[in-house]
Amino acid sequence: MKEKYEKIFACMEHVEQAIDDYVNYKEAAPQLIKADGDEKCSYCQKTAEYLIK
Ligand SMILES: [Zn+2]
């Protein structure tokens, strides 16, 4: 799915995996933005702490 890695939400546990996936897919440095608490992690059901885009 092309949209999948346009932005990734991640909890504290999955932030490193999210960065790896982003870099592998986009081949660009990600921006880490503090999430506002309304979104779920893209890898589990926890509340996302960061938005990677
Ligand atoms: Zn997670």
- pLDDT at residue 16, rounded to an integer: 96
Determine whether 4 is exposed, middle or buried from the number of CB atoms within 10 Å of its CB (0-12, 13-18, 19+): exposed
Report the separation in Å between the CA atom of 27 and the middle of ligand 1, taken as the mean of its atom positions. 22
Cα of 46 from ligand 1 centre, angstroms: 6
| 1 has a pLDDT exceeding 70 | no
Domain boundaries, the chain: 2-52
Residue 40 CA, ligand 1 centroid: distance in Å:
8
- Residue 50: per-residue pLDDT: 97
Cα-to-centroid distance, 48 and ligand 1 (Å): 7
| Cα–Cα–Cα angle for 39, 46, 27, rounded to 5 degrees | 65
Q: Which of 30, 22, 19 is closest to 5 using CA atoms? A: 22
Output the pTM of the full model.
0.84
At residue 4, does pLDDT exceed 70?
no
pLDDT digits (tens, 9 = 90+) for 19-47: 999 999 999 999 999 999 899 999 999 99
User: What spacing in Å lies between the alpha carbon of 1 and ligand 1's midpoint?
Assistant: 20
